Amino acid sequence: MSLKSMTGYGRAEGQHEGVSWVWEVRSVNGKSLDTRLRLPAGFESLESKIRKTIAKALKRGNLQVTLNMQTEHGASDYKINHDWLKKLISEGRDLSQTYGLTPVTIDGLFQSAGVIVEGSLQNAADPKLTLRNQVILVSLDDMLGVLINARCEEGKAMGEALSGCIADMKVLTARARIRESAIPKHIKQRLTEKIGELLGENMDKDRFAQEVALLAVKADVREELDRLDAHIQQAKSLLNSKEAIGRKLDFLSQEFIREINTLCAKSIDIDLTKIGLEMKSVIEQFREQAANIE
C-alpha cells in the first residue's frame, strides 16, 4: 500500500559560493494540483522548471512554495539606487516646505519603487549563475522528497483507516444479505400478509398476486447488495494500487452512498434499515478519509 495524503510540510536548505537559501512547502487538500510560488525578484526565469519539477513529483494538492535567498552575511542581497534616493529626498523636502506636509521618512522612501534593487547574486537569468541555479533546483528535489515522505506517513495511517471501513462494510453487507427482508420468498410472504390485513379477501386473487409481485420486486435489495460487494472489492484493489487514487476513491464513495440510499428506501424491515444506517456512518468515515488522499 503506497497511499499519500495531500497534507504535509517540507523544507530543504542549500548554499553555493556565499549564497544560501531555504525552500519551504506547505500542502493541503485540493481537487487538482495548484501550486503558488513565492520567489525572490529575478527568479522568474526558473518558474517554469520549478513548476514542472513539482508536477512530476505530485499529482494533487494546494501547495504554497517559498524560496528565501540570503548572502553569507545573512541578509538578502540588494543594492540602493542612491541617485534615485537623493532625488526623492530633494523632491520630498521641497514639497513639504511648499505645502506644509509632513517630511518624508527614510522608511517611506525605502518602500518607493526603484530605491532598493535586487543585487546580481539573485538574478537567476544571469548566465554566470547557471551552476548555482542547478544546485537550487537540486534542493527543490530534496524539499519535495521531505514533503512526499510526510505525505506517505500520513497516507499509511489513512490507508489503515480506509481498510477498517472496507472491512466494516463487508461485514454489514453480509449481515444485510441474510436478513429475511432481503430474501425474495420472505419479502413476498410478508407483503402478502400485510396487504391481506389491509384489504381482507375482497380483492381479486389474480390482481392480488400481481400487486404482491410488483411490490416484492420493488423491495428486492439483492441488486444493491451485489453492487455493494463489487464496490468493496474495487476499494480493496484501489488501496493496493501504486497510482494516485484519490479521485477514484472519492467517486467510489458517492457510489457507496447511492446504493445505501436505495437500499434504505426499499427496506421493509426495521433491522435492515438499521444496517443501512450503520453502513451510511461507515461510508461517511470512508469518504472523509478518501477526500485527503492524493
Q: Which domain holds residue 108?
A: 78-118
| Listed residue (132, 177, 187, 195) closest to 272, CA to CA | 177
259 and 160 part of one domain: yes
Cβ distance 290 to 6 under 8 Å? no
243 and 172 part of one domain: yes
Structural domains of the chain, count: 2
Mean pLDDT value of segment 203-218: 54
Kindly state whether residue 172 falls inside one of the protein's structural domains. yes
113 and 163 part of one domain: no
Kindly state whether residue 10 falls inside one of the protein's structural domains. no
93 and 212 part of one domain: no
Q: Is the pLDDT of residue 187 over 80?
A: no
159 and 285 part of one domain: yes
Task: Give, in order, the Cα–Cα distances in Å from 25 to each of 10, 22, 76, 144, 227.
Answer: 5, 10, 20, 8, 41
State which of 118, 145, 174 marks the end of a domain: 118
111 and 224 part of one domain: no
Mean pLDDT value of segment 36-42: 90
φ, ψ dihedrals at 204, nearest 5°: -55, 135
Owner of C-alpha cell 553569507:
72
From its phi and psi, is residue 61 left (phi > 0), alpha (psi between -120 and 50) or beta?
A: left
Please give the share of the chain, as a percent, with pLDDT higher than 90: 52
162 and 245 part of one domain: yes
Mean pLDDT value of segment 17-23: 90
State which of 90, 118, 146 marks the end of a domain: 118
Kindly state whether residue 17 falls inside one of the protein's structural domains. no
| Listed residue (10, 7, 289, 17) closest to 159, CA to CA | 289
Question: What strands lie across the sheet with 61-71, from one edge to the other?
Answer: 8-16, 19-28, 61-71, 33-38
167 and 271 part of one domain: yes
Listed range (23-37, 45-59, 76-90, 165-179) with the worst mean pLDDT? 76-90
207 and 82 part of one domain: no
